[in-house]
């Protein structure tokens, strides 16, 4: 799997020889279940520097959330026979430390400290029986030997920073007393308690109303700049990634199918699945279309991933490739020789893909 | 919160009155509807000395020849202000709360209940502590090690605990201990022999409950450990123990608190089987004896006492629930 | 407009063509209110009310799609339930084809259930897991005591085919289907009795993006084929724009703006509508970051409680244009006739200072 490298421009950003801040290499996360082996994440690689944002896009079952949890080592580990949990292989390098082989104590010291996570639904992600303050203080005191009152000071400071009015009194409220937007702000404050350098946000605005979503996206952008953290945002909403991400990785059936700078993925996508995602959603910045162009069929079941390219049963371009699409898994390869890295996992020849996009797909957007 | 408690207390009193009405109806009215004459019924109350004076005393005492609601009113009134009546030979004054007089055994109901209650209380509380500790601990460990050999074997034992009746488990433990001769003595007079007399009944009683609690705790913990907020707690870098106890168990414990309150409340009204097996002179033992003798006033007293504890336990559980769950507290 | 011949596409066309102001509305809501009482204290006295829907006026014309948008808690779902009479309004009137259905009793409502149907958000919880698809979709026939010419089974299989499922699915159970397919089943059930109006409450929100588009297309195809009118309730402004002929925007139990789709999206006049539209993230990385922020109207604070809504205009507490009058006088929902930019008859705004 050495075909994959950073989507940044060659020689860009970092001294040669050193690893990127986050370097995920050929990560597999497999679960063995009663119905068979589920390859939720099946060989993905990506890189991320501090101050940069990676958007991971995909539908349910694409493996995007499993990826995020595996970065923090939050999957229950399988026993020696590979049962009852996740079997992880590959490498995750965070700031020079390898995490897949790391023991629980080491991971625990990093979790919530150097890397933190923002979850989708803040109502269920916060404990209903403890005050917001208690939960924030706890997050701080796990990693810092400070008194409760110092922890409380920090909690109030962070609540204030994420824009919660009257943090002095709200710190003693319970999560259910917050509105949805305020709760997500509190969740973000909790994730920032220990100044994490890597922040992973799993569908951070999906449960929120659109005006609140706008506030939260702005907040995340500002905070990232202020803390210079690396940000991974996982979502199904292409609008949200477009707002935040520098790079985008599109996942399907546990694999990355397209990976490149956000601008390229949006303006010159080359994978038929990415095309489908873009054409199936109505857009406010375009004239109303007569009809949407959906992707036919359903996302694959993870028990029974189609052979060959996982997308082939739903792909409209299979016929042009003979039996290859259903027989052989395509590799994730650099598409053109231009300076920017742009990786696509598709059997269609590059020129066909580019021509198809320009002639058939672009007009549908 | 205060209005909540007041409202519930008022409801509790109303409920007790209804329970009293129904039991009164069953014991004193149904037989008459079924064709018993007033004299037949009265003779049920009088011991061996069947004479017309005694019968008349009983009839007069219970106003059997008056309308039903007058009878019931007098019964409730006696509880509140006391009563004086004759057993045929002498006048007896019964102070409030007067639950009546057992003509069979020539004793007042209320002092008898008070006399028996410490036994039942000791038995219930001791067993409750045991089963709560073991039930929770086993349930938590089983949930955390779900699917392990430990989990599976413990759950088989728990299944036995649920399935085996206490009159099998009790004598079994007693036998294993070599049938020690025990007799109850008060905690206040001799704590050591108190515990010696009670430990086998405690274990016997707690075994079945612990099994149920372990299974409930395990199920609740498995649910709680799958919750998003437990994942959040892990993501904060908390230790496993802290995640399990402070975040998981805290959420899983709510239904167990409810059940615990109800179970203890029900036991305080008499642990009939265990008390009978070990001949412990508690409320339950009293209930069985009274039933055997058709000692209706005593049965009424025991029933009302049991109902009282169940209702009070309900109230305590509701208040406890509100204090444990901020979402209930606030609304 | 009443006809029994639903399979004719011309009905739909006629419906659309006649959807000018002159045509008889299929459904009309006038001053419709839903106040849920709040009880407190020892005697459970009513101490207030959640004013979930607080006087909304609109009509639905035959064959058209009315989009109903707004954020959570604005009362759009409650409105949907009032229109289908799953809830009984506490005020105002709802008329269907000229008949007052506001306070009809369950028995009187039964024939109405043939004409008005509802599709729910969560296809998982709205289908009974123990029933086969055949009995779920066939239930309306049974409840209404309707005999189909070729038997109920045949009718159900035709419906399954209509919504893009296979007739062989008749004997399967809901859990065997994906989310998108389950939503198709919900739609088939709603269509069983050939309704004239379908109220769809967030019908595509729980679905994956690629599946969403399939279901949206299905809604459009069915409308063209059967001449249905839709009330399409959703929070996704892009989907509503795509599917609707007219759109009503709700805020805190009130309609703040209602207009033809294009008017509303190209020249929204109410500040709330403008803020709402500007907040939708656009999948265009060129507009990323600072740029998007500049074009965006950021609302501050939270939606006030519907138990105690602000006096006058309900949006004033978050509105950058609010003045004295906004707190004392409630702006009526009216067509703008004076001012620099009057609106058409179909475009009504409830604002003292419309753009």
Give the tens place of pLDDT for each residue, C298-309: 888 788 889 999
Taken in order B160, B162, B165, B166, the sign of the CA dihedral is positive
Of C70, C39, C68, C34, the closest CA to residue C52 belongs to C34
Burial of residue C180 (number of CB atoms within 10 Å: 0-12, 13-18, 19+): buried
Q: Which residues of A touch C71 (CB under 8 A)?
A: 209-212
Which uninterrupted H or E stretch holds C138? helix C133-144
The pLDDT, as a whole number, for residue C310 is 94
C216-257 pLDDT, tens digit per residue, is 999 999 999 999 999 999 999 999 999 999 999 999 999 999
Report yes or no: C315 and C256 within 8 Å, Cβ to Cβ.
yes
Residue C5 or residue C269, greater confidence: C269
The pLDDT assigned to A12 comes to 43
Note the pLDDT of residue A112. 93
C321 touches chain A (CB under 8 A): no
Chain A positions touching B234 (Cβ under 8 A) are 74, 111
Per domain, the residue ranges of chain C are 270-355
Q: Does residue A2 carry a pLDDT above 60?
A: no
- Predicted local distance difference test score (pLDDT) of residue B50: 63
- Distance from the C212 Cα atom to the nearest Cα atom in chain B, whole angstroms: 26
| CB B261, CB B314: distance < 8 Å | yes
Contacts of B228 in chain A (CB under 8 A): 119, 121, 124-125
CB contact under 8 Å between C296 and A210, yes or no, is: no
pLDDT for res A7: 47
Question: Which tokens sit at C271?
Answer: 């500040």
Question: How far is it, in rounded angstroms, from Cα B167 to Cα B207?
Answer: 12
Residue reference for tokens 């409320």: B283
Listed by start position, the domains of chain A span 259-364
pLDDT per position in chain B (331 positions), as tens?
677 788 888 888 888 888 888 888 887 777 777 777 777 777 766 655 567 777 777 777 666 777 777 878 888 888 888 877 665 567 777 777 888 777 777 788 888 999 999 999 999 999 999 999 999 999 999 999 888 899 999 999 989 888 888 888 888 888 887 777 777 788 888 888 888 888 888 998 999 999 999 999 999 999 999 999 999 999 999 999 999 999 999 999 999 999 999 999 999 988 888 888 888 889 999 999 988 887 888 888 898 899 999 999 988 888 888 888 888 776 5
Residues A157-173 have a mean pLDDT of 93
Task: Report the pLDDT value the prediction gives residue B326, as an integer from 0 to 100.
Answer: 85
pLDDT of residue B191: 85
Average pLDDT of the segment spanning C284-288: 75
Q: Measured between CB atoms, does A214 come within 8 Å of chain C?
A: yes
Domain ranges of chain B: 2-98, 110-330
Note the pLDDT of residue B330. 63
3-state secondary structure of C53: strand
Quote the minimal CA–CA distance from C169 to chain A in Å: 16
Residues 133-162 of A with CB under 8 A from B: 138-139, 142-143
Among A10-14, B57-61, C116-120, C324-328, where is mean pLDDT lowest?
A: A10-14
Q: A268 and C285 in contact (C-beta within 8 Å)?
A: no
- Per-residue confidence at C11, pLDDT binned at 50, 70, 90? very low
Q: What is the pLDDT of residue C293?
A: 66
- pLDDT at residue A322, rounded to an integer: 72
CB burial of residue C153 (10 Å; 0-12, 13-18, 19+): middle
For the segment A205-227, what is each residue's pLDDT rounded down to a tens digit?
Answer: 888 888 888 888 989 999 999 98
Residue C211: is its pLDDT beyond 90?
Answer: no
CA–CA separation, C63 vs C230, rounded Å? 7
pLDDT band at C8 (very low <50, low <70, confident <90, very high): very low
Compute the nearest-CA separation of C165 from chain A (Å). Answer: 11
Query: Looking at residue C17, what is its pLDDT?
Result: 42
Of A221, A280, A289, the CB nearest to C212: A280
Residue A273 has pLDDT above 60, yes or no: yes
Q: Which chains touch C (3 or more CB pairs under 8 A)?
A: A, B
Element (H, E) at A232: strand A230-235
> Can you give the pLDDT at residue B65?
72
Chain B residues closer than 8 Å to A126 by CB: 229, 232
- C-alpha C300/C-alpha B296 separation (Å) is 72
Residue A13 or B300, more confident: B300
Q: How far apart are CA A252 and CA A273, in angstroms?
A: 8
Lowest-confidence pick of A261-265, C10-14, C27-31? C10-14
Interface of B with C (CB under 8 A): 3, 6-7
pLDDT score for A82 = 63
Whole-angstrom distance, CA of residue B6 vs CA of residue A194: 46
Top-confidence residue, C341 or B35: C341
Q: Which chains does A contact via 3+ CB–CB distances below 8 A?
A: B, C
For C121-143, give one letter per residue: b (16+ CB within 10 A) or e: bbbeebbeeeebbbebbbbbbee
Q: Would you call B236 and A139 a contact, using CB atoms and an 8 Å cutoff?
A: yes
Cite the DSSP H helix spans in B226-295.
228-235, 240-242, 250-268, 272-277, 283-292
Interface B-C: count of C-beta contacts within 8 A: 4
Task: Using a CB–CB cutoff of 8 Å, tell me whether A119 touches chain B.
Answer: yes
Nearest CA in chain A to C208: A59
Give the per-residue pLDDT at A342.
93
* Residue A11: per-residue pLDDT: 39
pLDDT at position C14, please? 42
pLDDT at A15 over 70: no
- Are C242 and A182 a contacting pair at CB < 8 A? no
A69 contacts in chain B (CB < 8 Å): 231
Pick from C69, C117, C144: nearest CA to C222: C117
CA gyration radius for chain A? Answer: 21
- For C279, the closest of A211, A282, A299 (CB atoms) is A211
Q: Which residues of A touch C285 (CB under 8 A)?
A: 242, 245, 262-263, 266-267
Partner A, chain C 73-92, Cβ-Cβ below 8 Å: none
The confidence score (pLDDT) of residue C6 equals: 41
Q: Which of A57-71, A132-146, C167-181 has the highest mean pLDDT?
A: A132-146
Q: What's the confidence (pLDDT) of residue C48?
A: 85
Residue in A218, A285, A299 nearest the CB of C282 = A285
* pLDDT at C10 (0 to 100): 42
CB half-sphere exposure, C219, CA atoms < 13 A? 34
Which of C285, C292, C299, C303 has the most A C-beta neighbours within 10 Å, making it the best mutation to test the interface with A?
C285
Burial A157-191 (b: 16+ CB within 10 A, else e): ebbbbbbbeebeebbebbbeebbbbbbbbbbbbbb
User: What pLDDT was estimated at residue A252?
Assistant: 94
- What pLDDT, in 10s, does the model give residues C80-129? 999 999 999 999 999 999 999 999 998 889 888 889 999 988 767 778 88
Chain B hits for A117, Cβ within 8 Å:
232, 235
Put simply, the answer to whether A292 touches C242 (Cβ < 8 Å) is yes
CATH number, span B110-330: 1.10.3720.10
Report CB contact under 8 Å: A281, C178: no
pLDDT at A248: 96
Q: How high is the pLDDT of residue C4?
A: 43
C chain contacts of residue A204, beta-carbon cutoff 8 Å: none
Which chain B residues are Cβ-neighbours of C42 within 8 angstroms?
3, 6-7
Q: Measured over all CA atoms, what is the biggest interatomic distance in chain B, rounded to whole angstroms?
A: 83
Q: What phi-psi label fits residue C228: left (phi over 0), alpha (psi between -120 and 50 degrees) or beta?
A: beta
Q: How confident is the model at residue C60, as a pLDDT? A: 95
CA distance C279 to C287: 13
Q: Residues A143-172: what's their mean pLDDT?
A: 94
For residue C347, pLDDT over 90 is answered with yes
Q: Is the pLDDT of residue A28 over 60?
A: yes
pLDDT, tens only, A310-342: 999 999 898 887 788 988 999 999 987 666 789
C149 touches chain B (CB under 8 A): no
**A chain contacts of residue C237, beta-carbon cutoff 8 Å:** 210, 284
Mutate which: A211, A219, A222, A279, vs C, most C CBs within 10 A? A211
Residues 40-69 of chain A whose Cβ lies under 8 A from any Cβ of chain B: 69
Task: Please check the confidence at residue C68 and state whether its pLDDT lies above 70.
Answer: yes
Highest mean pLDDT among A189-193, B20-24, C149-153: A189-193
Q: What is the mean pLDDT of chain C?
A: 86
Determine which of C40, C42, C47 to mutate to test the interface with B (most B C-beta atoms within 10 Å): C42
């Amino acid at each position: 799997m050495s075909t994959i490298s950073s989507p940044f421009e060659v020689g860009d950003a970092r001294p040669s020889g050193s690893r990127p801040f986050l370097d995920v290499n050929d990560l597999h996360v497999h679960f063995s279940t009663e119905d068979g082996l589920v390859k939720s994440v099946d060989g993905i690689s990506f890189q991320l520097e501090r101050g940069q944002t990676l958007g991971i896009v995909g539908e349910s079952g694409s493996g995007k959330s499993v990826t995020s949890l595996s970065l923090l080592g939050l999957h229950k580990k399988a026993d020696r026979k590979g049962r009852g949990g996740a079997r992880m292989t590959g490498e995750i390098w965070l700031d020079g430390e390898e995490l897949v082989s790391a023991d629980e104590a080491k991971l625990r010291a990093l979790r919530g400290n150097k890397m933190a996570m923002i979850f989708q639904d803040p109502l269920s992600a916060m404990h209903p029986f403890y005050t917001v303050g208690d939960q924030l203080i706890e997050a701080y005191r796990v990693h810092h030997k400070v008194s409760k009152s110092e922890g409380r000071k920090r909690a109030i400071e962070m609540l204030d920073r994420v824009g919660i009015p009257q943090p002095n009194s709200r710190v003693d409220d319970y999560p259910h007393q917050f509105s949805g937007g305020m709760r997500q702000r509190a969740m973000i404050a909790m994730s920032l308690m220990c100044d994490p350098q890597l922040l992973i946000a799993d569908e951070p605005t999906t449960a929120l109303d659109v005006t609140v979503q706008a506030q939260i996206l702005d907040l995340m952008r500002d905070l990232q700049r202020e803390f210079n953290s690396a940000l991974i945002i996982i979502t199904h909403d292409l609008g949200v990634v477009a707002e935040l991400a520098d790079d985008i990785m599109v996942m399907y059936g546990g694999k990355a199918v397209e990976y490149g700078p956000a601008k390229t993925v949006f303006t010159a996508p080359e994978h038929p699945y990415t095309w489908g995602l873009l054409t199936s959603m109505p857009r406010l910045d375009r004239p109303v279309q007569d009809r949407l162009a959906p992707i036919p069929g359903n996302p694959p079941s993870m028990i029974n991933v189609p052979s060959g390219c996982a997308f082939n049963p739903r792909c409209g371009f299979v016929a042009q490739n003979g039996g290859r699409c259903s027989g052989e898994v395509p590799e994730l390869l650099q598409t053109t020789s231009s300076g920017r890295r742009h990786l696509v996992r598709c059997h269609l020849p590059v020129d066909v893909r580019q021509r198809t996009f320009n002639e058939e797909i672009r007009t549908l957007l | 919160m205060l209005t909540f408690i007041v409202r519930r207390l008022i409801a509790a009193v109303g409920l007790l009155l209804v329970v009293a009405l129904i039991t009164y109806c069953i014991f004193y009215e149904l037989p008459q509807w079924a064709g018993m004459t007033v004299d037949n019924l009265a003779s049920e109350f009088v011991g061996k000395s069947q004479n017309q004076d005694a019968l008349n005393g009983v009839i007069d005492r219970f106003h059997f020849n008056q309308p039903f609601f007058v009878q019931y009113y007098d019964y409730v009134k006696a509880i509140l202000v006391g009563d004086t009546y004759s057993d045929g030979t002498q006048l007896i004054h019964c102070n409030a709360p007067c639950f009546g007089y057992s003509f069979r055994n020539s004793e007042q109901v209320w002092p008898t209940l008070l006399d028996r209650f410490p036994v039942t209380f000791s038995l219930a509380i001791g067993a409750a502590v045991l089963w709560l500790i073991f039930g929770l601990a086993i349930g938590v460990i089983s949930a955390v090690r779900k699917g392990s050999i430990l989990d599976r074997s413990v759950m088989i034992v728990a299944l036995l605990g649920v399935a085996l009746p206490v009159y099998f488990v009790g004598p079994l433990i007693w036998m294993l201990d070599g049938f020690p001769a025990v007799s109850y003595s008060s905690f206040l007079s001799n704590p050591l022999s108190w515990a010696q007399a009670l430990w086998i009944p405690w274990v016997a009683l707690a075994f079945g409950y612990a099994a149920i609690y372990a299974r409930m705790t395990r199920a609740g913990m498995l649910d709680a450990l799958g919750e998003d907020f437990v994942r959040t707690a892990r993501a904060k870098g908390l230790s496993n123990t802290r995640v399990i106890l402070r975040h998981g168990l805290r959420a899983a414990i709510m239904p167990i608190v409810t059940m615990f309150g109800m179970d203890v409340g029900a036991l305080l009204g008499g642990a009939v089987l265990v008390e009978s097996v070990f001949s412990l002179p508690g409320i339950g033992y009293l209930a069985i004896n009274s039933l055997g003798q058709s000692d209706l006033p005593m049965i009424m007293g025991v029933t009302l006492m049991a109902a009282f504890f169940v209702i009070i336990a309900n109230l305590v559980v509701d208040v406890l629930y509100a204090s444990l769950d901020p979402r209930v507290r606030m609304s | 407009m009443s006809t029994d011949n639903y399979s004719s596409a011309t009905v739909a066309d006629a419906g659309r063509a006649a959807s000018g102001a002159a045509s008889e509305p299929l459904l009309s809501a006038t001053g419709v209110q839903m106040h849920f009482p709040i009880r407190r204290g020892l005697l459970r006295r009513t101490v207030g009310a959640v004013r979930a829907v607080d006087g909304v006026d609109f009509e639905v014309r035959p064959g058209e799609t009315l989009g109903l948008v707004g954020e959570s808690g604005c009362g759009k779902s409650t409105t949907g339930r009032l229109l289908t009479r799953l809830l009984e309004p506490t005020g105002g009137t709802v008329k269907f084809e000229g008949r007052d259905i506001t306070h009809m009793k369950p028995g009187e409502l039964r024939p109405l259930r043939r004409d008005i149907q509802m599709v729910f958000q969560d296809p998982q919880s709205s289908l009974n897991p123990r029933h086969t698809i055949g009995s779920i979709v066939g239930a309306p026939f049974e409840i209404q005591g309707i005999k189909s010419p070729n038997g109920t089974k045949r009718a159900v299989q035709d419906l399954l085919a209509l919504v893009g499922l296979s007739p062989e699915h008749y004997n399967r159970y809901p859990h065997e289907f994906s989310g998108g397919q389950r939503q198709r089943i919900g739609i088939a059930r709603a269509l069983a009795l050939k309704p004239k109006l379908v109220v769809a409450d967030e019908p595509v929100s729980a679905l994956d993006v690629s599946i969403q588009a399939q279901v949206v297309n299905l809604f459009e195809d069915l409308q063209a084929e059967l001449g249905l009118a839709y009330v399409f309730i959703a929070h996704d402004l892009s989907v509503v724009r795509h599917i609707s002929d007219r759109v009503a925007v709700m805020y805190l139990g009130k309609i703040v703006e209602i207009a033809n789709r294009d008017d509303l999206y190209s020249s929204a006049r109410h500040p709330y509508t403008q803020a709402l539209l500007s907040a939708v993230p656009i999948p265009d990385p060129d507009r990323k970051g600072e740029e998007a922020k500049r074009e965006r109207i950021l609302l501050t604070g939270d939606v006030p409680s519907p138990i105690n809504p602000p006096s006058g205009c309900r949006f004033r507490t978050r509105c950058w244009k609010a003045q004295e009058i906004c707190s004392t006088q409630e702006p009526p929902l009216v067509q703008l006739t004076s001012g620099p930019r009057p609106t058409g008859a179909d475009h009504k705004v409830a604002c003292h200072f419309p753009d």
